[in-house]
């Protein structure tokens, strides 16, 4: 028993979900999807600045999407911790099909019927894209595997993409997808902490934490008015 007369809190397992740094397409508000877009100079600086904060978690492992914007973000943390980055394609962003490389205005102009269905039909498949439910399934699987790989009191860091990470949080926690609108999109190089409670299971302990609030581009899920989507985020 401690001097205050209380038992010390048990060590808890944690998953830290870290979004990649900024890219040129983030600035231009283009849907990146699984296009392999590199970090821009600001994004590289964001990753270098945030990495020491993530290193303070003393992670047991670092897993990353194999897309270079995530991989290069993860490598900044690996350089500080001595850990080898494990690449996992399940951590990739949504495959957005014909939306890839377009802004919402361009998408609407070129595919008005698809645009309308995207914003009004639940779990709608844009031509060539993944279903939101398919993304939920792969993200829940990789987060579940990461949690299973953690020993008591240890932390794992998973580096990925804004839209897929937000969907992954809900899917991993078993929350209905329609609750997605209750969570703001993650900013570039921001992170979310999931922590295991001894009685209540996994919980959101921190969300969209960041060290560089003045340098992040638009949030990952910023949507054009007046529509409200039941489907995917811009996928950056």
Active site members = 20, 93
Among positive and negative, which fits the CA dihedral 50, 32, 104, 181? negative
Measure CA 163 to chain center: 6
What is the phi/psi pair of residue 196, to 5°?
A: -90, 120
Q: How far is CA 81 from CA 16, 62, 148, 188, 201, in A?
A: 15, 9, 21, 21, 28
Q: In what order do the strands lie in the sheet with 61-64?
A: 85-87, 61-64, 155-160, 14-19, 191-197, 201-209
Among positive and negative, which fits the CA dihedral 165, 143, 170, 211? negative
């Amino acid at each position: 028993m401690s001097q205050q007369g209380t038992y010390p809190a048990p060590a808890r397992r944690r998953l830290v979900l870290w979004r990649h740094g900024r890219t040129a397409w983030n600035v231009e508000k283009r849907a990146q999807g699984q296009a392999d877009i590199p970090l821009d100079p600001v994004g590289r600086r964001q990753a270098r600045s945030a990495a020491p904060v993530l290193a303070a978690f003393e992670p047991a492992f670092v897993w990353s999407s194999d897309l270079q914007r995530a991989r290069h973000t993860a490598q900044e943390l690996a350089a500080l911790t001595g850990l080898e980055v494990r690449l996992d394609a399940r951590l990739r962003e949504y495959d957005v099909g014909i939306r890839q490389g377009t802004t919402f205005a361009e998408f609407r102009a070129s595919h008005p019927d698809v645009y309308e269905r995207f914003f009004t039909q639940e779990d709608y498949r844009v031509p060539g894209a993944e279903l939101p439910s398919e993304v939920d399934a792969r993200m829940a699987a990789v987060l579940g595997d990461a949690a299973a790989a953690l020993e008591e009191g240890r932390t794992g860091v998973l580096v990925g993409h804004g839209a897929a990470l937000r969907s992954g949080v809900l899917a991993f926690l078993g929350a209905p997808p329609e609750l997605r609108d209750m969570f703001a999109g993650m900013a570039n190089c921001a992170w979310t902490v999931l922590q295991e409670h001894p009685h209540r299971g996994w919980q959101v302990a921190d969300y969209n934490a960041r060290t560089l609030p003045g340098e992040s581009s638009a949030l990952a899920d910023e949507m054009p008015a007046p529509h409200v989507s039941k489907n995917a985020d811009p996928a950056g």
